[in-house]
Structure 1
Amino acid sequence: MPKRFKLQDYSTDYQQQTNQLCVLVTGDVIYYKILKLIYKSRCKSLFKDKNNNYDWGAYIDNEEGIQQEIESLLHMLQYAVCIADSLMQSFALDYYYQPYWDNDEGGRTVAGELVNKAKYDRPYTGLHQKALNDLCEYMEHFIQKHKLYKQADLIVSMPYFGHKEFDLPSYLAEELSRRFEITNASHLVKKTKATQPQKSLNTIDEKTENMQNVFKLDSPEVFEDKAVIIIDDVYRSGITIQTLAQEIVNAGGKCLGLVGAKTIRG
């Protein structure tokens, strides 16, 4: 089961003598790896906060606008769920339900409520369309703040088998493709057979077996050397999105996962 994280706190401070930005974070070091992927050689070595107010820190070579850019990213990551799976990066906008340690009532988060309405309300009604618009804007905000996602080459939705009156991941991928002018390659990703719903299966072995030989890429050369955003509505065990991502990786691509909400349990 992939581990998941939330960034707790952060601060930034411009160091004039060295022309560097000092970034201090309370949260797992996976967030340092995120900064390193974005800022590459400009992101310097990890260090321990000598005042013990934060878990770790890093220096980043300064340039105009970078402090505001990093603060906007880290602020957003306080709400998103970072998921340590096999993809280059995976995020959910939030948990589906409030974790019990945050809210004893366990009600849905804003993201969870939007996904629930967009997925299950009667399609093409006013309330359904509002939930779709709000969810798209939520994902748009995430992509806008995260440079790796904004600079992606392709976007695909989690494919389905058979016919659906309405498919939420397909809608989201098409709309985000239009808003960011990222090529939508969803038509090249196929689900080749029907499977049992993953949430109906109890063990990781059952879920993994259920996804064996399920996905196929038409024209796999299209994905070579491309950064690909995979869009889905709900992240449970992560086996489905990781199985699809492996097909894209086998074709030479790199995968970024973005889903509406993460369940507390797999």
Structure 2
Amino acid sequence: MREWPEGRSYSHKLVLSFADTIGPVLQKRFGIGLTLTPFGNYFAPVDEVVAMKLEDFVGEHRQTVFIRDHLDLSFAMGMHILGDEKTELGELVKAAKYQNDAGATTELIARASDFVKNMPFLRNADIIVAVPPASGKATDLPTEIAEGVAKASRKEVGLAGRWQSEKVSLKDVGLHQKWSFLEEAGLQVDPSTVAGKRVILIDDLYQSGCTMQFVASRLKAAGARRIFGLAMVKARSNSDNV
């Protein structure tokens, strides 16, 4: 059992159902250490000052999705759909990706740049890369966003890698088959791009996260120090096409 410093009053308690991504952020920003309880959730006592700061943090990140996956940390700036309607962010992604709306792309870059600037760990990343597009793709939203955010953040921008064979569309592929399809596509990563670096990996939509996690695994194998995922929106479903 953790012993808390004597003489300090803890008038509030913080309880979370999971600690992935959100735990390290709270530790970095507020010095909060979460303890796993016998009930499977995470707990920390906080004083009045920290409680007020947490309220501001919750207000600031009301839309943010803190994701549990195999990256060091993963975020989406918001949901793609809430209820039966696309969110504002979802509409921006749709306009930028399918309607070539330059204004929507600019707005996504501005929001993502602000997110990186204000989020612990991301602000100290060394390089920004996008999930690689299929070969021969004329325009690619994640690449445009990665380049724009890197410029605004004054960070290095690079290529996460290149697919060695044509990457088939995964939209109609069952979740259990996706990893095999990605392995067959053969992502080649240049270790000199990411070795020893803290990497932000950008994508437009996070659903199951299979593609992002596959790319991250190859970046780690190439020597990346840490990998932080940042998607513009999180899909309502976690399961892709099952």
What's the TM-score, normalizing by structure 1? 0.74
User: Which one of the candidate residues 212, 218, 226 is aligned to 2:183?
Assistant: 212
Tell me how far apart the structure 2 counterparts of residues 79 and 228 of structure 1 sit (CA, whole Å): 23
Partner residue, 1:161: 134
SS in 2 for 1:212: helix
Partner residue, 1:83: 67
Partner residue, 2:216: 245
1:76·1:142 contact (CA, 8 Å) conserved in 2?
A: no
Tell me how far apart the structure 2 counterparts of residues 205 and 243 of structure 1 sit (CA, whole Å): 13
Partner residue, 1:112: 90
Tell me how far apart the structure 2 counterparts of residues 168 and 143 of structure 1 sit (CA, whole Å): 17
Q: How much has 1:178 moved relative to structure 2?
A: 0.4
Question: Which runs of 5 or more residues in structure 2 are unaligned?
Answer: none
Partner residue, 2:14: 24
- The 5-angstrom pairing of residues 144-183 of structure 1 reads 144-183=117-156
Tell me how far apart the structure 2 counterparts of residues 21 and 252 of structure 1 sit (CA, whole Å): 44
Tell me how far apart the structure 1 counterparts of residues 80 and 158 of structure 2 sit (CA, whole Å): 27
SS in 2 for 1:141: helix
Structure 1 residues 69 and 247, CA gap change in structure 2 (3 angstroms): farther
Q: How much has 1:45 moved relative to structure 2?
A: 4.7
SS in 2 for 1:211: helix
User: Which one of the candidate residues 35, 48, 64 is aligned to 1:46?
Assistant: 35
Q: CA RMSD in A?
A: 3.0
Q: How much has 1:138 moved relative to structure 2?
A: 1.9
What's the TM-score, normalizing by structure 2? 0.80
1:69·1:145 contact (CA, 8 Å) conserved in 2?
A: no
Q: Look up the equivalent residue of 2:19 and give its one-letter code.
A: V
Q: How much has 1:44 moved relative to structure 2?
A: 3.4
Question: Which runs of 5 or more residues in structure 1 are unaligned?
Answer: 1-14, 49-54
Tell me how far apart the structure 2 counterparts of residues 142 and 72 of structure 1 sit (CA, whole Å): 15
Q: How much has 1:198 moved relative to structure 2?
A: 1.4
- The 5-angstrom pairing of residues 197-208 of structure 1 reads 197-201=169-173, 203-208=174-179
User: Which one of the candidate residues 221, 224, 229 is aligned to 2:195?
Assistant: 224
Q: How much has 1:74 moved relative to structure 2?
A: 3.5
Tell me how far apart the structure 1 counterparts of residues 65 and 86 of structure 2 sit (CA, whole Å): 15
Tell me how far apart the structure 2 counterparts of residues 109 and 210 of structure 1 sit (CA, whole Å): 31
How many corresponding residue pairs? Answer: 226
Tell me how far apart the structure 2 counterparts of residues 70 and 174 of structure 1 sit (CA, whole Å): 32
Structure 1 residues 116 and 164, CA gap change in structure 2 (3 angstroms): same
Tell me how far apart the structure 2 counterparts of residues 211 and 159 of structure 1 sit (CA, whole Å): 12
2:128·2:201 contact (CA, 8 Å) conserved in 1?
A: yes
Cα deviation 1:157-190 (Å, max 9, x = unaligned) = 111232233210111001000010110012x621
Structure 1 residues 215 and 47, CA gap change in structure 2 (3 angstroms): closer
User: Which one of the candidate residues 231, 237, 240 is aligned to 1:259?
Assistant: 231
SS in 1 for 2:111: helix
Partner residue, 2:44: 57
Tell me how far apart the structure 2 counterparts of residues 72 and 141 of structure 1 sit (CA, whole Å): 16
SS in 2 for 1:249: helix
Tell me how far apart the structure 1 counterparts of residues 54 and 117 of structure 2 sit (CA, whole Å): 12
SS in 2 for 1:159: coil
Q: Look up the equivalent residue of 2:203 and give its one-letter code.
A: D
- Check if 1:134 corresponds to 2:125: no
Cα deviation 1:123-143 (Å, max 9, x = unaligned) = 3xxxx1221122112212221
Partner residue, 1:192: 164
Q: How much has 1:21 moved relative to structure 2?
A: 11
